[in-house]
Amino acid sequence: MKNKLALYLQLIRWNRPAGWLLLLWPTLSALWVASHGFPGWHLLTVFTLGTILMRSAGCCVNDVADRDFDRHVKRTAQRPVTSGALSVREALIVGAVLALLAFGLVLTTNTATIAWSFAALAIALAYPFAKRYVSMPQAVLGVAFSFGIPMAFAAVQSRVPLLAWLLLLGNLFWVVAYDTEYAMVDRDDDLKIGMKTSAITLGRFDVAAVMLCYAAYLVVWAWALPDMLRQSPVFWVAMGVALLQALWHGWLIRRRGREDCFKAFRINHWLGFAVFAGIALSYLGR
Phi-psi region of 86 (alpha: psi -120 to 50; beta: other; left: phi over 0): beta
- Burial of 66 by CB count in 10 Å (0-12 exposed, 13-18 middle, 19+ buried)? buried
Contact 166, 187 (CB under 8 A): no
The separation between CA 176 and the C-alpha centre of its own chain, rounded to angstroms, equals 10
Q: CA 263 to CA 245: how far, in whole Å?
A: 12
Taking the alpha carbons of 245, 248, 253, 257 in that order, is the dihedral positive or negative?
Answer: negative
Q: What is the pLDDT of residue 142?
A: 94
Can you list the residues of the chain whose pLDDT is less than 70? 1, 285-286
- Burial of 165 by CB count in 10 Å (0-12 exposed, 13-18 middle, 19+ buried)? middle
For the chain, the first-to-last Cα distance in angstroms comes to: 52
Beta strand extents in 95-158 (DSSP E only): none
Q: CA 39 to CA 47: how far, in whole Å?
A: 11
- Could you give phi then psi for residue 254, rounded to 5 degrees? -60, -30
Q: In the chain, what are the domains?
A: 2-284 (1.10.357.140)
Q: What is the pLDDT of residue 77?
A: 76
Sequence-distant (≥ 6) Cβ neighbours of residue 233 within 8 angstroms? none
- Could you give phi then psi for residue 36, rounded to 5 degrees? 60, 40
Q: CA 146 to CA 36: how far, in whole Å?
A: 20
Helix (H, G, I), strand (E, B) or coil at 267: coil
Reported pTM: 0.94
Q: What is the pLDDT of residue 90?
A: 93
Phi-psi region of 84 (alpha: psi -120 to 50; beta: other; left: phi over 0): left
Q: Comparing C-alpha atoms, which of 78, 265, 77, 62 is closest to residue 189?
A: 77
Q: What is the pLDDT of residue 84?
A: 85
Q: CA 56 to CA 11: how far, in whole Å?
A: 8
Tell me how long the chain is.
286
The amino acid occupying position 103 is F
